Amino acid sequence: MKVFLNSMAVFLILAGGVWFLQGINVLPGSFMTGHMEWSYYGGLAIVAGIALLVFAKRLKASPPKK
């Protein structure tokens, strides 16, 4: 479960970074380029990814199944 949550968190952070950079017109080449709402969505995705990383870190490791 922790591996899945960490993977999703990293994906959210990376995707959010791309959305943010395209929204502020730094990373060209998409319909999102230059549209500020995508920078907001990207910022929210980055924050959600960081929160998910923190949540996954706080999960206790489950005991191994026999």
Burial of 56 (0-12, 13-18, 19+ CB in 10 A): middle
- The confidence score (pLDDT) of residue 53 equals 94
What would the two tokens of residue 19 be? 């959305």
pLDDT over 80 (residue 66)? no
pLDDT of residue 8: 95
Residue 12: how many CB atoms within 10 A of its CB? 21
The pLDDT of residue 52 is 95
In the structure, what pLDDT confidence band is assigned to residue 65 with cuts at 50, 70 and 90? confident
- The residues near 4 (Cβ < 8 Å, ≥ 6 apart) are none
- pLDDT (tens digit, 9 = 90+) per residue, 23-54? 998 988 888 888 899 999 999 999 999 999 99
